């Protein structure tokens, strides 16, 4: 085997997809080890890496072509180790840091930004990395296509003393000139559990991602309608938006960050919007004004954009009249309603008329009964029906209601977290 051409070895190794098999094969000979290391494109490192910095550094000379690195729950990894990776791995295009609490220095960010090879950066639950640190990425923002920044799960509190530091009703993102970073290639952006001060931090991203296709803002504090207006006017390629909101103090009222003005901006400027996910946590059904959106505002968005997927969680403003309006949505294929207390059997009778609806999910919708589900069964339109913890619906009533049915008396933990915690996982 040692006499075989290196090209033949490389072609043979490409056909082995399991990492464990590649690891075992590379132990057969030094030559195989070198060839396999040279062509390996991705490495995922867990908590077993020890001693951390030295071990990470030892990986780099064997992986000069390394394109993807994911570090998960590696508490001993420091900024020094990451700087080593940045310097030695010139082809690195994807970096994921998850639960790496000792990483904090901005040197590695500055270096990666100057190299400009990174296309995907994910930072989740890393206590030592702040928004100010991420700004040191500088010119690296130009080539970045996906960016995720999530802080460690925590609860926000409203003490009634007024808005948080980040909220300023007069703030206009269009006038922002503090940063000259360009991020025109960004297609996927997710910010979760952070608070953005006026004119500072990662706020500049919202008005400058001209190629943005997917946006997720999950319990982000300090934003307002002006941010959404600026974003919608800059991102006419937007296809998917996910907003997870909880009420905040806004000087004269207590409500979610965005209002119908944001929905109107999306309606006017985002002609490619296909997927909308609106999740509301901590909003009382006794005070509909805690949610800045109204039924009319949402219906207007759905009629203006080619919405195919709609997810509503905790949307106490959405009722059977809204379902009637949805019945005329020409492109709606998937509808998911979670803890929507105002939806009843009448709403199901309306929604079954939607011409393209094939997937329906109902979770914690206690006003829906077997009688409403029977209407779905008679229509014979649905391909998929999921009903979970709807106390007045039985498993037997679902039979024949869709080609694929799923029934449960409980709700997945992930769904409960979205509804009942003011943070993200």
Decide if pLDDT at 290 tops 90. yes
Rounded to the nearest 10 degrees, what angle do helices 52-62 and 79-88 cross at? Answer: 10
Structural contact between residues 70 and 99, judged by C-beta atoms closer than 8 angstroms: no
* Local structure of 169: helix, strand or coil: coil
Span 43-98, pLDDT tens digits: 555 555 445 555 565 556 576 678 888 888 888 888 988 898 888 888 899 999 99
As given in the structure block, the two tokens for residue 19 are 């990492």
- For residue 226, give the nearest of 249, 247, 246, 196 by alpha carbon: 196
Domains and CATH numbers, the chain: 1-39 (1.20.1280)
The dihedrals phi and psi of 266, each to the nearest 5 degrees, come to -65, -40
Mean local confidence (pLDDT), 372-388: 94
Span 341-361, pLDDT tens digits: 999 999 999 999 999 999 999
Decide if pLDDT at 422 tops 50. no
Confidence (pLDDT) at 164: 44
User: For residues 187 and 127, which has the higher predicted lDDT (pLDDT)?
Assistant: 187
Length of the chain: 425
Do β-strands 248-250 and 253-255 pair in parallel, antiparallel, or remain unpaired?
antiparallel
* Local structure of 113: helix, strand or coil: helix
Do β-strands 188-192 and 248-250 pair in parallel, antiparallel, or remain unpaired?
unpaired
DSSP structure class, residue 218: E
Confidence (pLDDT) at 289: 87
Q: Which of 151-160, 200-209, 255-264 has the lowest mean pLDDT?
A: 151-160
Average confidence score pLDDT of the chain:
84
Mean local confidence (pLDDT), 102-113: 89
Decide if pLDDT at 114 tops 50. yes
Do β-strands 188-192 and 214-218 pair in parallel, antiparallel, or remain unpaired?
parallel
- pLDDT class of 199 with cuts at 50, 70, 90: low
Structural contact between residues 229 and 261, judged by C-beta atoms closer than 8 angstroms: yes
Largest CA-CA distance found in the chain, in angstroms, rounded = 79
Q: Which of 75-79, 326-330, 364-368 has the lowest mean pLDDT?
A: 75-79
Cα 162 to its chain centre, rounded Å, is 29
Tell me how far apart the alpha carbons of residues 36 and 33 are, in angstroms, rounded to a whole number: 5
Confidence (pLDDT) at 272: 97
Highest mean pLDDT, choosing among 42-46, 108-112, 223-227, 271-275? 271-275
Confidence (pLDDT) at 354: 96
User: For residues 106 and 292, which has the higher predicted lDDT (pLDDT)?
Assistant: 292
Q: What percentage of the chain exceeds 70 in pLDDT?
A: 75
* Local structure of 205: helix, strand or coil: helix
Decide if pLDDT at 174 tops 70. no
Tell me how far apart the alpha carbons of residues 209 and 105 are, in angstroms, rounded to a whole number: 26
Confidence (pLDDT) at 15: 72
Decide if pLDDT at 270 tops 50. yes
**By CB neighbour count within 10 A (0-12 exposed, 13-18 middle, 19+ buried), where does 386 fall?**
middle
Confidence (pLDDT) at 353: 94
Tell me how far apart the alpha carbons of residues 206 and 227 are, in angstroms, rounded to a whole number: 7
Is the sign of the CA dihedral 157, 160, 161, 162 positive or negative? positive
Tell me how far apart the alpha carbons of residues 259 and 284 are, in angstroms, rounded to a whole number: 17
Tell me how far apart the alpha carbons of residues 290 and 185 are, in angstroms, rounded to a whole number: 36
Confidence (pLDDT) at 76: 82
Confidence (pLDDT) at 169: 54
Cα 3 to its chain centre, rounded Å, is 50
Confidence (pLDDT) at 285: 83
Mean local confidence (pLDDT), 19-31: 66
Highest mean pLDDT, choosing among 12-21, 147-156, 371-380? 371-380
Structural contact between residues 299 and 322, judged by C-beta atoms closer than 8 angstroms: yes
Tell me how far apart the alpha carbons of residues 228 and 234 are, in angstroms, rounded to a whole number: 10
**By CB neighbour count within 10 A (0-12 exposed, 13-18 middle, 19+ buried), where does 144 fall?**
buried
- pLDDT class of 30 with cuts at 50, 70, 90: low
pTM: 0.84
- pLDDT class of 240 with cuts at 50, 70, 90: very high
CA distances 340 to 351, 358, 362, 368, Å, are 14, 20, 9, 10
Confidence (pLDDT) at 424: 37
**By CB neighbour count within 10 A (0-12 exposed, 13-18 middle, 19+ buried), where does 303 fall?**
middle
Q: Which of 6-20, 174-188, 209-223 has the lowest mean pLDDT?
A: 6-20
Decide if pLDDT at 309 tops 60. yes
Confidence (pLDDT) at 271: 96
User: For residues 49 and 204, which has the higher predicted lDDT (pLDDT)?
Assistant: 204
**By CB neighbour count within 10 A (0-12 exposed, 13-18 middle, 19+ buried), where does 378 fall?**
exposed
Confidence (pLDDT) at 407: 95
List of residues 6+ apart from 155 with CB closer than 8 A: 421, 422, 423
Confidence (pLDDT) at 349: 95
Q: Which of 78-87, 215-224, 289-298 has the lowest mean pLDDT?
A: 78-87
């Amino acid at each position: 085997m040692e006499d075989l051409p290196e090209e033949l070895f490389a072609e043979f190794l490409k056909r082995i997809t399991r990492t464990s098999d590649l690891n075992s094969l590379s132990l057969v000979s030094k030559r195989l080890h070198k060839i396999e290391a040279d062509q390996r494109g991705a490495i995922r490192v867990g908590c077993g890496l020890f001693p951390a910095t030295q071990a990470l550094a030892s990986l780099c000379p064997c992986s000069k072509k390394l394109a993807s690195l994911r570090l998960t729950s590696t508490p001993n990894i420091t900024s020094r180790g990451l700087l080593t990776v940045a310097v030695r791995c010139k082809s690195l295009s994807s970096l994921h840091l998850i639960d790496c609490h000792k990483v904090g220095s901005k040197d590695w960010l500055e270096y990666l930004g100057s190299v400009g090879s990174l296309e995907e950066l994910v930072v989740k639950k890393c206590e030592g990395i702040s928004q100010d640190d991420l700004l040191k990425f500088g010119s690296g923002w130009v080539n970045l296509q996906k960016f995720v920044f999530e802080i460690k799960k925590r609860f926000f509190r409203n003490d009634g003393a007024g808005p948080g530091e980040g909220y300023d009703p007069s703030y206009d993102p269009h006038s922002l000139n503090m940063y000259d970073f360009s991020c025109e290639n960004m297609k996927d952006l997710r910010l979760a559990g952070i608070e953005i001060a006026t004119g500072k931090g990662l706020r500049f991203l919202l008005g400058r991602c001209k190629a943005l296709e997917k946006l997720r803002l999950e319990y982000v504090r300090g934003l307002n309608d002006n941010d959404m207006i600026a974003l919608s006017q800059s991102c006419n390629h937007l296809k998917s938006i996910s907003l997870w909101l909880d009420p905040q103090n806004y000087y004269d009222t207590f409500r979610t960050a965005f209002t119908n003005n944001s929905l109107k901006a999306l309606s006017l400027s985002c002609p490619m919007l296909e997927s909308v996910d609106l999740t509301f946590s901590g909003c009382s059904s006794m005070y509909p004004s805690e949610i800045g959106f109204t039924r009319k505002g949402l219906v207007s968005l759905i009629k203006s954009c080619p919405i195919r997927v709609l997810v509503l969680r905790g949307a106490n403003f959405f009722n059977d009249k809204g379902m009637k309006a949805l019945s005329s949505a020409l492109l709606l294929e998937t509808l998911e309603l979670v803890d929507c207390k105002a939806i009843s059997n009448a709403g199901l009778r309306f929604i079954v008329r939607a011409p393209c609806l094939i997937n329906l999910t109902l979770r914690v919708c206690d006003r829906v009964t077997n009688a409403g589900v029977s209407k779905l069964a008679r229509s014979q339109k649905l391909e998929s029906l999921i009903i979970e913890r709807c106390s007045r619906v039985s498993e037997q009533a679902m039979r024949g209601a869709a080609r694929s049915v799923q029934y449960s008396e409980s709700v997945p933990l992930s769904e409960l977290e979205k509804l009942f915690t003011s943070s993200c996982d």
